[in-house]
Structure 1
C-alpha cells in the first residue's frame, strides 16, 4: 500500500506554470557612457599680456560676443593715438597737395591763354616772335607743374591710405586685448586669474554650447545591430539613479572601437533644460536604447532554458497534458533576461516556465497559472 502511494505521488499530474503571450514588448540595449559636449572650445587671447579684468567664471552662461577677459592695453592705446595723429597728418598733406594741384592747373590755364593770344598777335606782327616763344615756353612749364602737382597729390593720397590701414591694424590689435565669447556658451573652467600673464593662444576659459550636450555611450557591437538615428533612449545619471531622462540617438560612429569591440552612440536629451539637467561633463550615465517593439510573442526567462548558445536552447513544453523537451530557436534577448521564442510551438502546446525539480518527459501535467510579461 505504501508502494502504491509512492507510485501515485510520482505519477500523478502536477500543476506547472506556463508562459502566456506578451504584447508590445520593448527590445532595449544597455550601454555605459559619459556626459560630453559636442561643441567645446578652449578660448584664449591671440596676443600675450597681463590679465587686468575677468568678467566670467565657471558655471556662468554668457551671450555670444560677451566680454570674458581683458589684457592691459595702455601701450596699444598709445599706438592707436599715435597712428590717429599720423592719419590726420597724412590727410592734411593730401589736402595741401590737392590745393597745389588746383593752383598749378589755374596757372597753366592762364599761361595757355596768354600763349594763344601772343601767337595770334605774332602772326599779325603786333608782337615779336621772341615774346610769342617765351609765352609758349611758360605754357609748357606750367603744364609740367600741373603733372608734378598731380603726382604729389597721388603720393599724398597713398600715404593717407597707408596711415588709415595702419590705424585699422592697430585697432584690430587693440581689440585683441579683449576676449569675447564666440557663441552663446556656458563656462566650464577658468584657467587664469587677475594679474597673471596669458601667452598667445593659451587657454583662458573652456566653453561649451549648452544645447550641444549629449551622452557618448558605448554599446557592445554584438548588440548594436539595428541601432538607428532617432531611436528613443532612456538615460540615468549616476548622480540621480532614481530618475531617467528621455533622449534620442543623434549620431552613431561609423567605426567601432577595435580594442573594446564597442560602438559609440551619441544621444541627446529631448526635453532637458540645459541649465539644470545633464550638465556636468564627464559624469557617468547608463543608457537603455529602445531598438524596437515586438507587437506580440512568447518569452522564456533564461533560467528556464538549458544549453542556450546565443541562438538555440532547450525548454519544457506542456503538450496534450504531458511534459516534453524541445530544442527551439530564440531571437531577441531582453534586459530582464527573457528570450524571444522564434520557433513555432506545436499545436496546442504551451511553454513551461516553472522551477519545479520533478519535471520529466512524459509526465502528466496541467497548466496551473499563466505567466505574463
Structure 2
C-alpha cells in the first residue's frame, strides 16, 4: 500500500516536471518588437576639448631684462597694444653711438665733397693753363718746355680729381653703412617693446618684471577670442556622414546642464592611426560666456533625420558588421532569424532597419533576445 502511494506521488511529480519543462520550453513567448517611430534624429557623438584656431605664445626677439608688464590674465587687448617692455638703457646707448657714427660719416662726406670741388677747380685751371702754354709755344712766345710742364700739371690735376671722386664714393658708402647700423639699432630698440599682434585675450602671463629673458622666451599666451572652437574626436566608423555646415550641440564639463549650439566648420582629412578617430571642429553659434582652453566637451553632430524608422537595439542584432546582421522575427507565430540591413545608428545604440522586401514592414522584429529563443518556437508580439 505504501509502495503504491509512493509510485503515484512519483508519477504526479514526473507529470508536473514534464509540464513545467514544456511550459518553459514550448509555450508561446511574448516578444517585445520594434514599433515605427517618427522624425528620428541621427547623431554622432565625440569627446574633445575647447581649443583656439589662432593661438600664440609671444615674447621678445632680443635678450634683456623685463622692466614692465602691462597686461594680465583675462585682459582683452586690441592689436598693437603695448604689453611689456625690456630695460632699454643699453640699447639706447647703442642707438646714440650709431647716431654719432652717422654724424661722423656725414661730416666725412662733406669734407670729401669739398675736396672734390677743389680738385675739380684745380683741374679746370691746369687745363686752361696748359691750353694757353700750347698756344704761346705755337707762336714762339713761350718755350716748349713750359708747355710740357703745364700739360703734365693738367694730367696730374685730372688724376687728383678722379681720386677725389672715388673718395666721395667711399664716403657715401660709409654714410650708408652708418645709416644702416643706426636703423638696425633703432629696430632692436623697438623690439624692446612687446605689442599684441592681433585682437587677443590674454590666457596666461608667464613672466614678471625683473626676469632675465632670452630671445623668443614666452611672456604671454594669447588667443583670438573669435577663433575658439570645440575639437572633438569621433570614431571613424561613425564619422563618414559628417560634413561641414552640419548642426551640432556642445556640452561643457563645467556646465553639464547647458547645451550650446554650433556648426561643423572643419572635418579632419587624416585619422589617428592608433585610436582610429577623426578630428571634427565645431564653432559655436551661442558660445559660453568665458570658455576655458583645454576643457573637456561632449559634441553631438546631427547628420540627418529619418521621417519614419523601426529601431532595433544593437544588442538584439547578431553578427552586426556595421551595415547588416541577423535579427529575430515573429513569422506565422514562430520565431525565425532573418538577415537585416541598417541605414543609421542612433546615439542610444539603436539601429534603423532599411526598407527591404526580405523584411517587410509588417513583420515583427524583436528588440530584445530573451532566454529560450530558438528557431521555430511559438511566439507572439508583446502588446
Corresponding residue for residue 9 of structure 2: none
Corresponding residue for residue 224 of structure 1: 239
Corresponding residue for residue 155 of structure 1: 170
Corresponding residue for residue 25 of structure 2: none
**Cα distance change, pair 91–364 in 1 and its aligned pair in 2 (3 A):** closer
Distance in 1 between the 2:280 and 2:363 partners?
44
**Cα distance change, pair 224–278 in 1 and its aligned pair in 2 (3 A):** farther
Corresponding residue for residue 23 of structure 2: none
Distance in 2 between the 1:184 and 1:63 partners?
4
Corresponding residue for residue 145 of structure 1: 160
Instruction: Note if 1:291 corresponds to 2:306.
Output: no
Structure 1 vs Structure 2 CA RMSD: 3.2
**Cα distance change, pair 136–357 in 1 and its aligned pair in 2 (3 A):** closer
**Cα distance change, pair 277–180 in 1 and its aligned pair in 2 (3 A):** same
TM-score (norm 2): 0.80
CA deviation vs aligned residue, 1:191-224 (integer Å, no higher than 9, x gap): 1011222222221111223233222222223323
Corresponding residue for residue 5 of structure 1: none
CA deviation vs aligned residue, 1:34-53 (integer Å, no higher than 9, x gap): 11223322211222221111
Distance in 2 between the 1:268 and 1:226 partners?
15
Corresponding residue for residue 145 of structure 2: 130
Distance in 1 between the 2:303 and 2:224 partners?
29
Aligned length: 350
SS class of match (1:144):
helix
**Cα distance change, pair 188–257 in 1 and its aligned pair in 2 (3 A):** farther
TM-score (norm 1): 0.82
Corresponding residue for residue 112 of structure 2: 97
Distance in 2 between the 1:51 and 1:31 partners?
44
Decide which of 59, 73, 78 is 1:44's aligned counterpart. 59
Corresponding residue for residue 341 of structure 1: 353
Alignment of 1:15-94 (within 5 A): 19-94=34-109
Distance in 1 between the 2:379 and 2:177 partners?
105
Corresponding residue for residue 243 of structure 1: 258
Kept in 2: contact 1:318–1:351 (CA 8 A): no
Shift of 1:357: 10
Distance in 2 between the 1:122 and 1:72 partners?
76
Shift of 1:324: 4.8
Instruction: Note if 1:209 corresponds to 2:220.
Output: no
Unaligned runs of 5+ in 1: 1-12, 369-373
59-68 or 100-109, which deviates more: 59-68
Unaligned runs of 5+ in 2: 1-27
Shift of 1:285: 0.2
**Cα distance change, pair 328–107 in 1 and its aligned pair in 2 (3 A):** same
Corresponding residue for residue 21 of structure 2: none
Alignment of 1:97-116 (within 5 A): 97-116=112-131
101-110 or 178-187, which deviates more: 178-187
85-94 or 133-142, which deviates more: 133-142
Instruction: Note if 1:268 corresponds to 2:279.
Output: no
SS class of match (1:225):
helix
Kept in 2: contact 1:232–1:249 (CA 8 A): no
CA deviation vs aligned residue, 1:2-43 (integer Å, no higher than 9, x gap): xxxxxxxxxxx9999865433442221111111122332221
Kept in 2: contact 1:26–1:290 (CA 8 A): yes
